[in-house]
Structure 1
C-alpha cells in the first residue's frame, strides 16, 4: 500500500533527488538560507551513503589509504546542518516516476518503496550511471563493500587486463592498477584518435597517453573491439584465441573491463523532457521549461559542456539555490499560488552561461595532467596534478560536504 507523505501542511516542501556533489552542495547552501519555519527539505537517494566519485577508482583497486572507511559517508541527521538541523528528512529509495503538477503546482515523487512524496519545489540531481567497476549497488552499505572487495579480488587475480574506453575513467583506473601491480600487463583501447575527447586540445590528450606509456601501459587509439566483447569477461570466459580488434590486432586479456563514458541517470523521466542523449532540457535558470517549480543540475542537464562534480557543486548549485528562493518568494507573494512571474524572464534570477572547462586526470598517486581553459589554455603536469588531486583524491574535503566524520 502506497503512503502519501506530506511532512507539514503548513510548510512548502523542497525535495532534492540525488545526494551527490550537486545535490549535497545545494542542500548545504539551502541550510544557511532557508527558513525552516516555512519550508521543509527532503533528500532522496537510491543509496544509503555518498559515494565520493574522485576516490572510487582507487577504492576498487586496493585497500590503499583505508578508503572504505574514509570515502563512504552514510546519509543521516548529520546531512542536515545549520538552519536545517533537525528539520530535514533523508529517504533511501529509487524514484520510479514523477507526477508533475499542472502549471507549476505541487507534484509527487513516486518511490520504489511504495511511498509517494509530495513536493512544492523539486530538484533533480541524479547524476550519471557509471561503468561496472564503479556501478555500486544501492541496497545497503554491506552490498557496496562486497562490490568493492569483489572488484579488488578480480583485479588481483587477473594476469592481463584490457580497459575498453580511454576517457578519464579508463585513464585513472589504469594509473591506479599500475601503482598496485607494477608489472601486470594493462591495455587501454580507445576508438578516437586520442584519449579523452575533442573538448580538450590534442596536445593535452597526447601528453596523457605519453604518461601512461611511460609507465608501461599499452594504449591503442583509433581502434575498438565489438560491444559484446567489451562486457566484463572473467578469466573463464575469455576465448582462447583472444579478441581481434577492428584493425586486426589480437588481444589476449583474461579480464575485460568497460571504462567507456557515462550516461545520464534519467530513466525515471518521460521522454518529452529529455534530449536525444537522455539529458534533461532546461532553461538558463535550471528550470524545466514546462515545470517552473522543478529544477535540474549536474550531469543530467542538457547543456553543452563537459560534465563534472566541480561544475555541479560550484557553478550550478549556487544559481539553483538563488532561483529556488526567488521562486518561493514570488509564490508567497502570490498567496501560495504558482509564481506568476517566470524566473526565465525575471531580471532578479540567476542565469547560467556555462563555466570554464577544467579537468585534472590522475595517473596513480604521483602523476597526472591538468587542463584549464583560460587564457590560451593552460596545461600542468604530474607535480601540480598530484598536489591538486592525485595524492589524496580530495578525500579530506568529503566531511565538509557531508557533515559526517568517519570514526
Structure 2
C-alpha cells in the first residue's frame, strides 16, 4: 500500500504534524500521502477565543483560517483534506470511517495520528464545535449575548475562565457585572498560591466579582435569564452563563481499549498509542501530559520526528519524549496585565502581556496555516 498518514483533527497539532511530514519527510519518500480529517474547513485560533467573544475585539479573519489554502504549496496528490466527523477506527484493517456531507468515506492508513483535542461539555465556542459555519455562528451568537447582557457569570477558574472574565471586564468596565465562580480559595489551581492570589487581585482590580469556595450545582433557564445555584447555598440570576469547566477529550470514536478511565488516549513516551506500532496520539487528546499549549506544541514536533524515522525506514531512531510535569502557563488579564509561572518561578506581568496578552498570538495564525510555524516554534 502507498504510505499514507491519516491525521485526525483540524487543530494546531494536526496541522503542524501534516506540514512537518510534507516539508521534511515527503521529499525523502515521494510516494507519501498525507490525509487530514477535520470537521471544519477552517482552523479556529481558539487561543484568542477569550478575547474573540467580545464583540469587535478580534476580526473573524484573525480567528479562522482556511485549512486547504495553507497546503496548496505541496505537489498534487500528496495532501488531501477530508471534511467530516470520524465515526470509527478499525484497527484490524487499518482504516477510519468518516461521515461527510456526501455520506460515509473509508480511508485506509499505514500510519494514523489522533489529534482531535478536547472541548467543553457545554459546546461553547471556545474550541471548534463542528463545522466552520456552526462554530462561527455560535461565536457570533455569544458575542451578541454578551453585548446585550448586563450580568455575566463564568464558572470555571482555570486559564480560560480567568482570561474570559478579564477580557469582558476590560472591554466594558463597570457597565456589566462580571462574576467568576472559583471552586477553591483562589483561581488557577495548577499554579503556586501566591501567583493565584495575584491573579485574584488582578481580576478584582478590573471589577470582576469573585465567589470563592463554591461550585455550580445547577443552572436552569428562568425567563430570559439563567438561575445558577451554588454549593454555598447562594442563587444567582444572570443574563449570560458561561460554564468554562469540564473539558473532555474528543475520543468518542476511539476503541475503548485504547482509552484510560478519563477518556484520554493511552500513549507511551514515543507518543504511540499503547500496544500499537502505527497509531499515534498528540496534543490534548493523549494522557501523557496535561493540556497545555507548550506541551502540545512540543509533542507535535516529537511525533513528526518519530513518524519521519518510521516512514524512512529508521525505526531505531524513534525516541521517547521526556514529559513535562511542572506548569508553564501564561494567563492574560486583558492586553496589559497577566500572571505566569514557568516551573516554580513567577513570571512578571509585563512579560506575560508582551509575549501573549497584546495579540494572543493571532499574528502567528497565517504562518501556522501555511506551514511556517506551529504557534511559537518554527516548522
The verdict on a shared fold, with TM-score over 0.5 as the criterion, is yes
In structure 2, what is the equivalent of residue 123 of structure 1? 113
CA pair 135-193 structure 1, distance change in 2 beyond 3 A: same
Q: Deviations over 1:260-280 (max 9, x none)?
A: 141111111122111111111
CA pair 237-211 structure 1, distance change in 2 beyond 3 A: closer
Provide the C-alpha distance between the structure 2 equivalents of 1:390 and 1:179, rounded to a whole number of angstroms.
12
CA contact (8 A) 2:51 2:58 kept: no
Provide the C-alpha distance between the structure 1 equivalents of 2:38 and 2:293, rounded to a whole number of angstroms.
17
Matched, 1:287 2:260: no
Provide the C-alpha distance between the structure 2 equivalents of 1:133 and 1:78, rounded to a whole number of angstroms.
23
By how many angstroms is 1:85 displaced?
Answer: 6.5
CA contact (8 A) 1:80 1:86 kept: no
Unaligned segments of structure 1, at least 5 residues: 1-8, 334-342
Q: Deviations over 1:289-335 (max 9, x none)?
A: 222100001001112x331233212x1122212221222244xx9xx
Which deviates the most, 26-35 or 149-158? 26-35
CA contact (8 A) 1:77 1:85 kept: no
CA pair 388-192 structure 1, distance change in 2 beyond 3 A: same
In structure 2, what is the equivalent of residue 108 of structure 1? 95
Which deviates the most, 378-387 or 152-161? 378-387
Q: Secondary structure at the match of 1:252?
A: strand
Q: Secondary structure at the match of 1:353?
A: coil
Greater Rg by CA: 1
Q: Which runs of 4+ in 1 moved over 4 A?
A: none
Q: Secondary structure at the match of 1:219?
A: strand
In structure 2, what is the equivalent of residue 70 of structure 1? 62
CA pair 244-266 structure 1, distance change in 2 beyond 3 A: closer
Q: Secondary structure at the match of 2:201?
A: helix
Provide the C-alpha distance between the structure 2 equivalents of 1:387 and 1:135, rounded to a whole number of angstroms.
24
In structure 2, what is the equivalent of residue 58 of structure 1? 51
Q: 142, 146, 156: which is aligned to 2:137? A: 146
Provide the C-alpha distance between the structure 2 equivalents of 1:220 and 1:237, rounded to a whole number of angstroms.
19
Q: Secondary structure at the match of 1:292?
A: coil
By how many angstroms is 1:144 displaced?
Answer: 3.0
In structure 1, what is the equivalent of residue 226 of structure 2? 238
TM-score, normalising length: structure 2 = 0.89
By how many angstroms is 1:76 displaced?
Answer: 0.8
Provide the C-alpha distance between the structure 1 equivalents of 2:32 and 2:371, rounded to a whole number of angstroms.
24
In structure 2, what is the equivalent of residue 42 of structure 1? 35
CA pair 287-137 structure 1, distance change in 2 beyond 3 A: closer
In structure 1, what is the equivalent of residue 347 of structure 2? 380
CA pair 202-85 structure 1, distance change in 2 beyond 3 A: farther
Question: Structure 2 matches for 1:198-209, cutoff 5 A?
Answer: 199-209=190-200
In structure 2, what is the equivalent of residue 248 of structure 1? 233
Matched, 1:389 2:356: yes
In structure 2, what is the equivalent of residue 307 of structure 1? 291
TM-score, normalising length: structure 1 = 0.83
